[in-house]
């Protein structure tokens, strides 16, 4: 009798939506924030969906349509603000700032600042919301943009233009393709597809010119590689870059800002001689598997096992079941992998096997025009 009374009291305290027998929890549901290419005419801008990491159920929450081609997004660590690049063309690029309500998913426009060049394609924000770092593909430059206390952007930017070229026909000039913060926020890593370099900058957020070249100031990939996206292992000991032009993935040992090349693997299928068009790269949350996307003629994800020493071993490859997987994301639980097939206008949801790293298609797809950036953001 006492046990029954105790259970009744607990249920009353929890409330009707949080009973011991409720299916799922708030922690299992995340915001899925999606950036798109609006130039296709099939999307309006930025979309927010809810996504359950246990069931793969999703539902529309909100959208904002006052932006042209928000092809990459960054959300602050406190989840209060979102920053989006806007590829407006005519030699102009901007970053737009929004306040973000993670519960409702609503976005409210604040202001914009210059990205410092043409064709902005990547944006990141430091953990303390002091600076936004934008990379410009067409302009071959990057910018450090100050963040005000209300989340809006200041106009006094640090603009850095790269110089140089390499051997491929698409490498006649610099093409900055990412601006990735180190786990401790002390360094910024900037892959430049046009110069075959990963440039490294020290960060001092107390300065109006927060970026200075590190020592060494860069590491080079093999000529004609075209470094594109860059990511750190969860244990912060290793880092990986995917090379768009040669379709390779290179692994580095990471220590206090410095990168030491360990291994380079070819991500394309055996015998392939076309254009790899390699794009995105991510590690599973436990760091045991690495995934890379290949677009164009291939349209696949390639999967590698990651050993304790950071070295890669090929596991498998999987069709993305669509065209042009420019971007993909693994949910925070590691249960699902979502691929944005930008030219077939949908996000395909795959189930992940955490033990093997393999992914299998589900029957779930999110129909959305030209999805090109996927970000999971906690609600609570």
Asked if residue 175 has pLDDT above 70, the reply is yes
Burial class (CB in 10 A: 0-12, 13-18, 19+), 13: exposed
Cβ atoms of 176 and 134 closer than 8 Å: no
Give the pLDDT band of residue 10 (cuts 50, 70, 90): very low
**What is the rounded distance in angstroms from the CA atom of residue 315 to the CA atom of residue 263?**
16
Residue 30 pairs with which residues in a beta bridge? 51, 378
Give the C-alpha separation, 73 to 18, whole Å. Answer: 33
**Tokens matching residue 82:** 């979102």
Confidence of residue 12 (pLDDT cuts 50, 70, 90): very low
- Using the predicted structure, report yes or no on whether residue 236 has a pLDDT greater than 60: yes
**3 C-beta neighbours (distance < 10 Å), count:** 7
Asked whether the predicted pLDDT for residue 15 surpasses 50, the reply is no
Check: CB of residue 193 under 8 Å from CB of residue 142. no
Q: What single-letter DSSP state applies at residue 154?
A: P
The distance of Cα 111 from the centroid of its chain, to the nearest Å, equals: 23
Per cent of the chain over pLDDT 90 is 91
Confidence category of residue 19, pLDDT binned at 50, 70, 90: very low
Alpha helices, H only, the chain: 2-14
Q: Above 80 in pLDDT, residue 181? A: yes
Please say whether the beta carbons of 347 and 338 come within 8 A: yes
Distance between CA atoms of residues 136 and 134, nearest Å = 7
Say how far apart CA 311 and CA 17 lie, in whole Å. 46
What would the pLDDT profile of 129-160 be if each residue is shown by its tens digit? 999 999 999 999 999 999 999 999 999 999 99
Instruction: Tell me the per-residue pLDDT of 37-75, one tens digit each, with 9 for 90 and over.
Output: 999 899 999 999 999 999 999 999 999 998 999 999 999
The DSSP letter of residue 41 is S
Rounded CA gap, 227 and 253, in Å? 17
pLDDT exceeds 90 at position 34: yes
Per-residue pLDDT tens digits for 94-111: 999 999 999 999 999 999
Q: Residues in the chain, how many?
A: 380
DSSP string, 293-360: EE-TTT-EEEEEEE-TTS-EEEEEEEE-SSS-EEEEEE-TTSSEEEEEETTTTEEEEEEE-TTT--EE
pLDDT (0 to 100) of residue 21? 27
pLDDT at 27: 76
Query: What's the distance, CA 191 to chain centroid?
Result: 14
pLDDT at residue number 2: 45
- 341: closest CA among 318, 360, 367? 367
Has residue 16 got a pLDDT over 70?
no
Token readout for 88 is 């407006």
Q: What is the pLDDT of residue 22?
A: 30
Residue 20's pLDDT band, with cuts at 50, 70 and 90, is: very low
pLDDT higher than 60, residue 258: yes
Name the pLDDT band for 89 (thresholds 50, 70, 90).
Answer: low
Query: What average pLDDT is seen over the chain?
Result: 93
Nearest one of 85, 149, 77, 71 to 113, comparing CA atoms: 85
Would you say residue 124 has pLDDT above 70?
yes
pLDDT 10s digits, 244-257: 999 999 999 999 99
Q: Please state, in angstroms and rounded to a whole number, the distance separating the CA atoms of residues 20 and 16.
A: 10
Phi-psi region of 23 (alpha: psi -120 to 50; beta: other; left: phi over 0): beta
pLDDT of residue 92: 83
pTM for this entry: 0.92
Q: How far apart are CA 307 and CA 310, in angstroms?
A: 5
Note the pLDDT tens digit of each residue in 315-357. 999 999 999 999 999 999 999 999 999 999 999 999 999 999 9
| pLDDT at 23 > cutoff 80 | no
- Which has more pLDDT, 22 or 379? 379
């Amino acid at each position: 009798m006492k046990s029954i009374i105790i259970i009744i009291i607990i249920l009353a305290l929890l409330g009707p939506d949080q009973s011991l027998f409720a299916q799922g929890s708030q922690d299992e549901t995340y915001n899925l924030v999606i950036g798109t290419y609006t130039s296709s005419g099939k999307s309006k801008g930025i979309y927010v969906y809810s996504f359950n990491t246990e069931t793969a159920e999703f539902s529309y929450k909100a959208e904002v349509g006052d932006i042209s081609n928000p092809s990459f997004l960054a959300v602050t660590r406190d989840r209060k603000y979102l920053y989006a690049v806007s590829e407006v063309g005519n030699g102009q690029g901007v970053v737009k700032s929004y306040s973000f309500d993670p519960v409702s998913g609503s976005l409210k426009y604040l202001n914009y600042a210059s990205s410092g060049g043409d064709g902005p394609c990547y944006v990141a924000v430091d953990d303390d919301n002091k600076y936004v770092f934008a990379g410009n593909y067409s302009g071959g430059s990057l910018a450090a943009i100050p963040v005000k206390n209300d989340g809006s952007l200041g106009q006094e930017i640090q603009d850095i233009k790269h110089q140089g070229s390499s051997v491929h026909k698409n490498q006649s000039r610099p093409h900055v393709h990412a601006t990735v913060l180190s786990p401790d926020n002390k360094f910024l890593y900037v892959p430049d597809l046009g110069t075959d370099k990963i440039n490294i900058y020290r960060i001092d957020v107390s300065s109006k010119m927060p970026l200075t070249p590190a020592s060494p100031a860069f590491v080079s990939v093999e000529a004609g590689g075209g470094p594109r996206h860059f990511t750190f292992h969860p244990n912060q000991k290793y880092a990986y870059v995917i090379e768009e032009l040669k379709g390779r993935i290179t692994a580095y040992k990471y220590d206090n800002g410095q990168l030491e090349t360990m291994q380079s693997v070819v991500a394309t299928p055996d015998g392939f001689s076309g254009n790899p068009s390699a794009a995105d790269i991510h590690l599973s949350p436990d760091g045991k598997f690495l995934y890379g996307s290949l677009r164009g003629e291939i349209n696949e994800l390639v999967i590698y096992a990651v050993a304790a020493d950071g070295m890669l071993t090929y596991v498998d490859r999987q069709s993305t079941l669509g065209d042009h997987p420019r971007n993909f994301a693994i949910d925070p639980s590691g249960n699902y992998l979502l691929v944005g097939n930008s030219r077939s206008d949908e996000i395909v949801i795959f189930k992940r096997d955490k033990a093997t790293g393999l992914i299998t298609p589900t029957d779930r797809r999110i129909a959305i025009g030209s999805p090109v950036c996927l970000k999971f953001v906690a609600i609570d």
